[in-house]
Amino acid sequence: MNNREIKFRAWHNDPLLEEPEMLSWEDLNREDKVGLIMLMDVLTYAEKYIHPMQFTGLKDKNGKEIYEGDIYHQGDRNIVYTVVWHDGSLLGKQNGSTSYAGLSYWLNRIEIIGNIYQNPELLTPKS
């Protein structure tokens, strides 16, 4: 039986915010955040401004939790991967390629270097 902890984080980019923010699992469960979201048309608001990312249940070689949308490398900083849903599971998609990598298999080499919302420049292949 899988004992993976189910939790999320979310990129919150409401234009009324001074700065977009990454909400942790704890932030998402705070009453004031839930109240703010519930006051608005929840579906429309969430679709536009809340971008959830699921926890994989894994941590990178430095102990950082790995979430959907994270960007990482496996030692070669010129080859980066993005954590994505593919075929019913979270895998690493090599940027600029059609290749996928299993996260558990390469876990001792994975180093998170950012995510797709806060570090979109990492998605551009280096030449």
Interval 99-113 mean pLDDT: 94
Q: Identify whether 81 is part of a domain.
A: yes
Q: Identify whether 119 is part of a domain.
A: yes
Q: Identify whether 3 is part of a domain.
A: no
Local structure of 99: helix, strand or coil: coil
Residue 27, pLDDT > 70, answer: yes
Are 115 and 69 in contact by the 8 Å Cβ rule? The answer is yes
The pTM (predicted TM-score) of the whole model is: 0.78
Interval 105-127 mean pLDDT: 89
Q: Identify whether 103 is part of a domain.
A: yes
Q: Identify whether 1 is part of a domain.
A: no
- What is the tally of structural domains in the chain? 1
Cα 76 to Cα 124: distance, rounded to the nearest angstrom: 15
Q: Identify whether 118 is part of a domain.
A: yes
Q: What is the pLDDT of residues 31-88, one digit of tens each?
A: 555 555 554 455 566 777 888 889 999 999 999 999 999 999 999 999 999 999 998 8
Are 22 and 117 in contact by the 8 Å Cβ rule? The answer is yes
What per-residue confidence (pLDDT) applies to 39?
A: 47
What per-residue confidence (pLDDT) applies to 9?
A: 85
Tokens of 42: 């929840």
Q: Identify whether 57 is part of a domain.
A: yes
Cα 75 to Cα 38: distance, rounded to the nearest angstrom: 43
Are 18 and 122 in contact by the 8 Å Cβ rule? The answer is no
Q: Identify whether 2 is part of a domain.
A: no
Main-chain phi, psi angles of 121, to 5 degrees: -65, -25
- For residue 28, what is the domain's CATH number? 2.30.30.290
What per-residue confidence (pLDDT) applies to 29?
A: 67
Q: What is the pLDDT of residues 1-24, one digit of tens each?
A: 456 677 888 888 888 888 888 888
Cα 114 to Cα 64: distance, rounded to the nearest angstrom: 11
Domain extent at residue 13:
8-123
Paired with 8 in beta bridges are 54
Cα 4 to Cα 35: distance, rounded to the nearest angstrom: 28
